[in-house]
Structure 1
Amino acid sequence: MIRTIFSAVYIFILVLRTAPRLLPMQKLAETIPPEEKDRLVHKTPDWFGKRMVRVTGSKVEVKGLEHIPQDRAVLVVANHQSNFDIPVLMGYLTKPIGFISKVEMKKIPIAAHWMELMNSVFMDRSDRRQSLQAIKDGIETLKAGHSLVVFPEGTRSKSGEMGEFKTGSFHLATKSGVPILPVTIEGTHNILEGNGNRIRPSRVTLTISEPIYEEEYRDMDLKELARYTQNIIQSKLS
């Protein structure tokens, strides 16, 4: 319990520490090329993600960094075990990324503004029309050269098990033509959700598989592509 309280307070302080960087970065982002803006913005989420994980006492092992295309946007497709998946990806993926995020995140002060700077797209899953618009916005974001992360399970598993991947997320790749980067997250649920929402140290593994390029998925339908990607991610779980 003491670790949980300390971690929560520390994370709150981390968020506050990013606030002075926010306005200058917003102004700078309007005057520099998109690639340079993404690189500079990424420094803060990278810093925040690593420290958020470290305060829990957890260790992250990363495999397959060489598989990340650095010269183009990708759609990162990952399984979703925990709320800690996001800081792990921000801190250890070594590539500027935004997220397809639930719309409730827009209500969180400071964090919401950073997510906008990261080119994140907010989706209201309870509103079909807005969800479709969010997918369209995500496609345009990818076409503009900004990488995005999507969790096709739609919600956290809160365990080591994986839910079925929903096909709608894969429109983001098929309509934009970007590579799909399968990423397997293992161990994050043991930080929080697997302990009755009490923080404990965990050993986390982030495994990055080879990209699936358009030439490979072009002739697949969405169900085939979702199943194919899920099998790759599932195969890296212990």
Structure 2
Amino acid sequence: MKTLWIYLYAIRITIQTLPKLKHAQKLPDDPYGPKGQAIYKIPQSVSKRVIKKTKTKVTVTGLEQIPEGPVLFASNHQGLFDILLLLGYIERPIGFIAKKEIKKIPLIRSWMKELQCVFIDRSNRRAAIKVIEDGVNSLKRGQNMVIFPEGTRSKGGPIVPFKSGSLRLGTRAEVPIVPITINGTHLMLEANDGKMKQADVSLTVGEPLMPEAYKNLKSQKIADIIYERVKSNLK
């Protein structure tokens, strides 16, 4: 019953953002930076309110390590609540690479479009290349992007070595790559057969890998460095 109530609560407060979405759509889109800052607080607020309703305790450390300007956040992926956690607590406008199926969800897809998110069809390799190009363009326009280099949710299992492909967003845009370690979100849903429960969740920002440090490294070496920095903060 609690799970259904939280779902309905999330739907209700999302619908209530419709007037603000229409306002966001009218804001000048170029340059993107000011627009991103203006609209970011709406999805941030919704995300925090939903997490708060689960009575989950969130601990955030390391925000001071995030460099100025656009960055690529590379995070481990434990559960569905990871996206709400990042939207709510990173304190920066962020966009995601999302599955194409999310485009079927009204209002959510519109907010994601305003946040410069890009959608991927995993069954289409050629389309995946276009996604990288779109993500690079979002970074160059001033939006921060988030990737989950594991490629799937671990659901509390061991963190999987990172795939190097998605990190090309950062290297091609020549922006800092910032490791993010999430711990505990799987306990909010995946560990309970789909029932929402409160949990103790942490989000830790690790040491960024700057462009001057990775410019002469191979893609897999970059992926390995970020993987180790994420894993080192996973307790």
Match of 2:113? 116
Q: Which of 21, 45, 53 is matched with 1:47 structurally?
A: 45
Match of 2:213? 216
2:88 is aligned with what amino acid? G
Match of 1:205? 202
Match of 1:149? 146
2:232 is aligned with what amino acid? S
CA distance in 2, matches of 1:17, 1:179: 35
How many residues end up aligned between the 2 structures? 235
Please give the TM-score of this superposition, normalised by the length of structure 2.
0.97
Are the equivalent residues in 2 in contact too, given 1:160–1:186 (CA < 8 A)? no
- Quote the RMSD (CA, aligned, Å): 1.1
Alpha-carbon deviation of 1:17? 1.2
Q: Which of 190, 193, 204 is matched with 2:187 structurally?
A: 190
In structure 1, stretches of 5+ residues that fail to align are none
1:72 is aligned with what amino acid? G
The 5 A counterparts of 1:1-238 are: 2-30=1-29, 33-69=31-67, 71-238=68-235
Please give the TM-score of this superposition, normalised by the length of structure 1.
0.96
Are the equivalent residues in 2 in contact too, given 1:160–1:187 (CA < 8 A)? no
CA distance in 1, matches of 2:155, 2:11: 23
Alpha-carbon deviation of 1:34? 2.0
Aligned-partner SS, 1:28: coil
Alpha-carbon deviation of 1:144? 1.6
Identity %: 42
Q: Which runs of 4+ in 1 moved over 3 A?
A: none
Q: Deviations over 1:10-57 (max 9, x none)?
A: 111121111121111101244x74221011110111101101111111
Are the equivalent residues in 1 in contact too, given 2:55–2:199 (CA < 8 A)? yes
Alpha-carbon deviation of 1:160? 4.2
CA distance in 1, matches of 2:170, 2:137: 11
Aligned-partner SS, 2:133: helix
